[in-house]
A = this chain, B = another copy of it.
Amino acid sequence: MAKEPISRLIRSLESKSGEISTSTRDAICALPIHEREVQAGALIVRIGSKPSSSILVLDGMLIRHKIVGDGKRQIISIHIAGDMPDLQSLFLKTMDHDISAVQPSRIGLIPHEALRVLIRDCPEAGKLLWGRSLVDASLAREWLVNVGRRRAVSRAAHLLCEYVMRSRAVGLSDGRTCEWPLTQGHMSDALGLSAVHINRSLQELRKRNLIVLEKNTLEILDFEGLKELGDFDETYLHLQDVPVEP
């Protein structure tokens, strides 16, 4: 039986790779974790820093972001329970972006040293983590497409589709309703838009009877319609698409 914090990671890995062998699971469960509570808005990892451990999200939501020259912010990714937002710091020593908490969250810190030992002694686990980092990259590419080539309403719809599917994959949603901690300011920074315009785009989604979004709760009224409008194709999420090694 996995200890509670690590079970989030296992569940999340399994959502992408199918069942994990017992020995691999045991090796992952043996990882040391230092739990920490962070408050809403807290800056957890700073650009330019050189972390010696990686973060596992246990509860809440973390975002990665960068600031450009004139002060504007771009959110690069959002992370829910089971995600490891800075797994990359294991091999790229200097952080190239910030990480902060959207809401009060619980995180686990896993020392790089322990991860290196795991990868060395359990190649299977290494492949799972590598695959995970590749999925992370796939999301960044789709976000690039979203921001580069879709209009505002579609971008918003696409983001909502992705979020619901990811939440469902780790058991945080039934596919219709889930928590939505992001403010419209967050959404605008994630989608490369102004807050005012996000506001109007969400109103259009409401007017079309696609969603209900209030009091930090998102309800999808018409997932097919939202997919259609957001030009959403889930292939890039690679759910159940990481091959299990023979």
Contact = CB atoms under 8 A, between A and B. Distances in A.
A72 to B, nearest CB: 4
A136 to B, nearest CB: 6
A145 interface: yes
Nearest to A97: B141
A141 B236 CA distance: 16
Nearest to A119: B123
B74 A131 contact: no
A93 interface: yes
B147 A88 contact: no
A20 to B, nearest CB: 14
Residue of A69, A116, A150 with most partner-chain B CB within 10 A = A69
B149 A238 contact: no
A96 B137 CA distance: 11
Given A69-B231, A147-B147, 4 more contacts: A68-B231, A91-B130, A94-B238, A147-B192
25 contacts: A47-B235, A66-B142, A68-B145, A68-B231, A69-B231, A70-B231, A72-B149, A74-B145, A74-B149, A76-B141, A77-B141, A92-B135, A92-B138, A92-B238, A93-B241, A93-B242, A96-B236, A97-B141, A119-B123, A126-B126, A133-B133, A133-B137, A143-B144, A148-B191, A148-B192
